[in-house]
Amino acid sequence: MIGNAMSEPTFATLVSRWYERNARDLPWREPGVGAWAILVSEVMLQQTPVVRVLPAWRAWLDRWPTPAALAEDTPAEAIRMWGRLGYPRRAVRLRDCAVAIVERHGGEVPDRLDQLLALPGVGTYTARAVAAFAFSQRHPVVDTNVRRVVCRAIAGEPDAGPATRPADLVATEKLLPAEPAAAALASAAFMELGAVICTARSPRCAMCPVESVCAWRASGQEAPSGPSRRPQRYAGTDRQVRGLLLAVLRETTGPVPHQRLDQVWPDDVQRTRALAGLVTDGLVEPVGEDSFRLLGDGPPMVPLS
């Protein structure tokens, strides 16, 4: 994904103007929304559609409007509130992040990129997203949508590949205006363009604000056919079994007998493997010899002598 001679400010300006007229009305984009709310939204939006995140985000912030509020609660309650958003380790990591924010930064989300990157569960994308969208800083915020936009418009390639590379950050940063607030706006605009116009398999090029300067359109190449990623099977997988086990544990306060968990899935080997995975992932902990509970859902365990 290497840039060409396209006028970088012109590209950013075109997309930013389009964004200001057409951006979706999402609550974490409203003026005055704080850094904690933006951080929560970014964690929830990882691999989860906006329509599913909206009610969960509101409920989460109603209960824990600050990092300190979440830090005072248990990991079990974070897992319960996460519900069925998927990838529930994000809930535990978000609570760990809240604890770190309280302990290291007095309960305020830090505005320095290095400090954001040092928080538990905060990676390259999330740290830069919070720095840009919460603090109006100039950083390349690169997700799948942004990589696709830059790869097509600048490099003339139909697909950006499966993972973000250092070169993607460099190419995107070259497109950002020098002024930090304008760069933050452009970062949001690039992301929105990839999400709603420059989509993976059905791009709406006629509605794109940079169609006239898009290297991919100029090349005449077609969009890749078929799914952008191989669909993951769910039915009958360990993921399904883990979800069923977690559902029982979320609905119960305190320990759940092994016999109750045995009822959720008939295959003993697969059920045992899924339960062990939940323990390994720090979502569930054993209680005594024959019960399990969500992490931290009760008094600390006393090691057997």
Q: Catalytic amino acids?
A: 42
How far is residue 140's CA from residue 170's CA, in Å, rounded to a whole number?
8
**Contact at 8 Å (CB) between 125 and 142?**
yes
DSSP string over 31-96: TT--HHHHHHHHHHTTTS-HHHHHHHHHHHHHH-SSHHHHHTS-HHHHHHHHTTSS-THHHHHHHH
Q: Where are the alpha helices (DSSP H) in 88-123?
A: 89-105, 113-117
How far is residue 161's CA from residue 157's CA, in Å, rounded to a whole number?
10
Question: Radius of gyration over alpha carbons of the chain, in Å?
Answer: 22
How far is residue 200's CA from residue 41's CA, in Å, rounded to a whole number?
23
156 three-class SS = coil
Phi and psi dihedrals of 264, rounded to 5? -80, -20
**Contact at 8 Å (CB) between 154 and 4?**
yes
How far is residue 173's CA from residue 103's CA, in Å, rounded to a whole number?
32
